[in-house]
């Protein structure tokens, strides 16, 4: 080796330094941009310059970020992304600080300020967009069969971390759990799910909870209700939770159109079953829904008014009213649902209605309300005003029942219930509207329930009875299925060709 004297050292450095500098610069220039994410590849962008060029073409970078995970974004792709989220004024600072996709999730509040993002709203927006991109990356990477299984294992009210499904999750999925409170009116149910749950999986979880498909929405930080209709909506919600450091969220659910139609069909079937019980009722009866639309009328109503069910069903009840009542009836209904105060339900009054031939008639109207499914129905019974005509045996017997303090029930010779006083309602937990028109065996058990129709038929044919005028101990069944021993006394009244039987129910232990 040559010996460099102290006189020749300056000359050596003068010639050697440019070569050394070029060598180092060349090595730096060839080094790939580092990407810290798993499976990252060297960036294929142009050599990085220390200063940002405003005229740089970002079209290719914008296209590539749609196909790449955030951790694989190059420096150029990061500034292209900033432009897509309307934070283009900060592209230069991100470029000069060499921010790649792998650095984005590590940015703190102080880092953002150092990058020149001084506005709070912009910092929150950047954090939210980073969270969304992270969630999308995590979701796309957790689509294996085992993770799909674990994401479906939502736990109602509490989670068993030792369960087989919980054990199949990786540690990152276990650390990113969120508790959702599913709110359906007063019915609130809690489920805990991973934050990588897919939209389709959440829909399945909600359907399992309520037995029907539901629409979903949540309230954001501005107090606005945001619908969850697709995967991106769910990712946005998860991002908001992560950004705010929250692990709980209320989801408000309502039946989907498909579920509403199915439920309406089910409620309609239930209503038709109730209506069928009134076909045998001697009094004229009409039923309307909570919008005042006629749903049913029985044969006695058709005889009284001249209308057939085909004429009036699905029409507003005002079709049988005179002008005096037409103008105000819909307003009465709205006021009732708003205040729950009525001047006619459970009271009765004389009204004038219009027959099909245009003539008018005064009747005594008694109205009761019954909930079928989720809907209110109003049943109106039309009778002749009692102060203008002779009372029928049934009417007189009902008036007697209403004044009794002991439970009493009226049936006809076929076992159909026509009267049911307040004391009977208290004892058996049924309302009049629940039982009128139904067979008395509804309230019976065992052999009495099976054979009662035959008892009645035999009595009508032979005139022989083991109970009328005698009384005996029997067991009555309440609406909730409870059994109550009672002492039953029966009397008979005849009105033309119809026989009526009044049963008095008393405490068998009473003296």
Over residues 182-191, mean pLDDT: 89
Report the sign of the C-alpha dihedral through residues 455, 459, 461, 462, in that order. Answer: positive
Residue pair 167/181 in contact (Cβ under 8 Å)? The answer is no
Cα–Cα distance measured from residue 255 to residue 242, given in angstroms and rounded to the nearest whole number: 28
pLDDT of residue 142: 52
Write the pLDDT tens digit of every residue in 196-227: 888 888 988 988 888 888 889 998 888 888 99
d(CA 479, CA 193): 40
Distance, CA of 423 to CA of 484 (rounded, Å): 14
* Reported confidence tier of residue 152, pLDDT bands at 50, 70, 90: very low
Q: What is the pLDDT of residues 14-49, one digit of tens each?
A: 444 444 444 444 433 343 443 334 344 444 444 445
Token pair, residue 421, equals 């006083």
What pLDDT is attached to residue 260? 61
More confident residue, 130 or 43: 130
Global pTM? Answer: 0.37
Bridge partners, residue 490, by sequence: 468, 503
* Cα dihedral 6, 12, 18, 23 in deg (nearest 10): -100
CA distance 255 to 261: 9
For residue 262, the tally of other CB atoms under 10 A from its CB is 14
Between 119 and 34, the more confident residue is 119
Report the C-alpha dihedral over residues 395, 401, 407, 413, rounded to 10 degrees: -30
Kindly indicate the confidence band of residue 436, based on its pLDDT and cuts at 50, 70 and 90: confident
């Amino acid at each position: 080796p040559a010996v460099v004297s102290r006189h020749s050292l300056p000359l050596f450095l003068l010639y050697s330094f440019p070569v050394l500098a070029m060598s180092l610069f060349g090595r730096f220039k060839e080094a790939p941009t580092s990407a810290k994410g798993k499976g990252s590849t060297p960036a294929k962008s142009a050599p990085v310059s220390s200063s940002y060029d405003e005229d740089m073409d970002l079209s290719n970078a914008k296209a590539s970020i749609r196909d790449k995970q955030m951790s694989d974004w190059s420096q150029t792709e990061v500034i292209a992304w900033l432009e897509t989220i309307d934070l283009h004024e900060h592209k230069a600072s991100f470029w000069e600080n060499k921010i790649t996709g792998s650095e984005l999730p590590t940015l703190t509040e102080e880092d953002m300020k150092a990058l020149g993002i001084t506005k709070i709203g912009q910092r929150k927006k950047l954090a939210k967009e980073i969270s969304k991109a992270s969630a999308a990356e995590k979701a796309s990477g957790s689509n294996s069969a085992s993770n799909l299984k674990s994401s479906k294992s939502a736990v109602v009210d509490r989670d068993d971390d030792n369960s087989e499904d919980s054990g199949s999750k990786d540690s990152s999925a276990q650390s990113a759990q969120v508790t959702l409170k599913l709110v359906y009116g007063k019915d609130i149910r809690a489920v805990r799910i991973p934050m990588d749950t897919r939209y389709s999986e959440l829909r399945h979880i909600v359907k399992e909870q309520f037995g029907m498909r539901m629409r979903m929405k949540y309230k954001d930080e501005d107090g606005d209700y945001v619908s969850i209709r697709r995967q991106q909506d769910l990712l946005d919600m998860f991002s908001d939770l992560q950004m705010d450091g929250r692990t709980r969220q209320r989801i408000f659910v309502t039946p989907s159109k498909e579920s509403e139609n199915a439920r309406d069909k089910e409620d309609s079937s239930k209503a038709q079953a109730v209506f069928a019980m009134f076909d045998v009722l001697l009094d004229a009866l009409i039923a309307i829904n909570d919008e005042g639309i006629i749903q049913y009328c029985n044969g006695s109503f058709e005889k009284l008014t001249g209308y057939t069910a085909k004429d009036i069903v699905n029409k507003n009840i005002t079709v049988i009213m005179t002008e005096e009542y037409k103008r105000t009836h819909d307003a009465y209904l709205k006021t009732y649902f708003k205040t729950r105060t009525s001047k006619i339900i459970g009271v009765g009054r004389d009204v004038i209605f219009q027959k099909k031939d245009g003539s008018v008639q005064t009747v005594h109207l008694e109205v009761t309300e019954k909930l079928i499914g989720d809907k209110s129905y109003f049943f109106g019974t039309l009778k002749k005003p009692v102060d203008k005509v002779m009372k029928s045996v049934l009417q007189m017997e009902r008036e007697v029942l209403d004044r009794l303090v002991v439970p009493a029930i009226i049936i006809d010779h076929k076992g159909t219930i026509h009267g049911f006083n307040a004391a009977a309602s208290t004892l058996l937990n049924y309302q009049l509207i629940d039982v009128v028109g139904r067979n008395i065996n509804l309230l019976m058990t065992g052999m009495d329930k099976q054979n009662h129709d035959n008892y009645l038929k035999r009595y009508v044919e032979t005139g022989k009875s083991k109970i009328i005028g005698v009384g005996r101990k029997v067991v009555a069944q309440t609406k909730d299925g409870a059994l109550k021993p009672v002492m039953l006394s029966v009397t008979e009244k005849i009105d033309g060709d119809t026989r009526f039987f009044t049963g008095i129910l008393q405490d068998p232990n009473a003296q």
